[in-house]
Amino acid sequence: MKIMEPNAVHDFYGGVITGTAVKTGVKRLRDMIGAYKEAGEAEDLDRVMYEVYSFENGDPAQAGNLNWGLTVMYPELVGGECNFTRGHVHADQSCAEIYFGLDGQGLLLFMDQDGGTWAEKVRRGSLHYIDGRWAHRLVNTGDGVLKVGACWPVTAGHDYQWVEDHPFPVRVFKKNGEIICI
Ligand code: PA5
Ligand code: NI
């Protein structure tokens, strides 16, 4: 039997994926500032809020193929509000997704099509099922970096407009070390 090296090198805990089909995205505060409730005037817009690494394997049009990736979120606060991802539903809402906590402390916010909102705690070793109809957003509530892995069908797509049209009704703040959901 031939034993091969993996076709990508995974260092989830180090927050790195390398390989032949890696795409990375970086969100800085300037990309997200409008989404925060109380951004001050003196904010450093260059601050990196989160990075997304993804490994896109095979034909992106072939239903059944899977992507996987990693989100790395920094412990940034903006006007006391915890760093959060933009959030989305899947363009093909029949496509579900799995998130898995790798490091740090966070919340995974959900909102269903009727506006029902809930959250799950994210920590190293946690697993989260995401129905494709549920809007999902990660929040870093910890004092360190939050790292979350994900696996989703290549045909899922990201619908950000839905979340802009139906904003999450809950915001997560950290005041004197305490997490407050408002
Ligand atoms: O596929 C996913 O749901 C994740 O990889 C997210 O894209 C990632 O966490 C970043 O969030 P968003 O795409 O909402 O900015
Ligand atoms: Ni998703």
Which tens digit of pLDDT belongs to each residue from 13-47?
676 666 666 777 999 999 999 999 998 778 899 99
Confidence grade of residue 72 (pLDDT, cut at 50, 70, 90): very high
Mean pLDDT of the chain: 92
Q: In this structure, is residue 144 part of a structural domain?
A: yes
Residue 167 CB neighbour total at 10 angstroms: 12
When pLDDT is averaged across residues 110-131 and rounded to a whole number, the result is 97
pLDDT value for 121: 98
In this structure, the strands spanning 66-73 and 48-56 are antiparallel
Per-residue confidence (pLDDT) for residue 76, from 0 to 100: 97
Q: Is residue 3 part of a domain?
A: no
3-state SS of the chain: helix, strand, coil percent to 5?
5, 50, 45
For ligand 2, a single-atom ion, the residues with CB < 5 A are 97
Among the atoms of ligand 1, which is closest to the Cα of residue 70?
A: 5
In a domain, 111, yes or no: yes
Q: Quick one: average pLDDT of 156-168?
A: 96
Question: Helix or strand or coil: residue 76?
Answer: coil
Q: Got the DSSP string for 107-175?
A: EEEEE-TT--EEEEEEETT-EEEE-TTSEEEEEE-SSS-EEEEEEEETT--EEHHHHHHS--S--EEEE
Q: Does any domain span residue 103?
A: yes
The answer to whether position 123 is within a domain reads: yes
Name which residue sits closest to atom 9 of ligand 1, judged by CA: 71
pLDDT band at residue 83, thresholds of 50, 70 and 90?
A: very high
Q: Phi first, then psi: give them for residue 96, nearest 5 degrees.
A: -85, 180
pLDDT confidence of 10, banded at 50, 70, 90?
Answer: low
**CA–CA dist 138, 133 (Å, integer):** 16
Write the DSSP symbol of residue 15: T
Q: Quote the number of domains for the chain.
A: 1
159 within some domain: yes
Mean pLDDT over 104-132 rounds to 97
Give me the pLDDT at residue 151, please.
93
Ligand 1 pocket, residue 71 CB under 6 Å: yes
Gap from CA of 181 to ligand 1 centroid (Å): 21
Range of the domain at 110: 8-181
pLDDT tier at 77, thresholds 50, 70, 90? very high
102 falls within a domain = yes
Least confident range of 6-20, 61-75, 157-171: 6-20
**Domain assignment present for 2:** no
- Asked if 85 and 26 touch (Cβ cutoff 8 Å), the reply is no
Return the residue whose CA atom lies nearest to atom 2 of ligand 1: 150
What's the CATH number where 69 sits?
A: 2.60.120.10
Ligand 1 neighbour 102 (Cβ under 6 A): no
The answer, yes or no, to whether residue 68 has pLDDT greater than 90, is no
pLDDT above 70 for 9: no
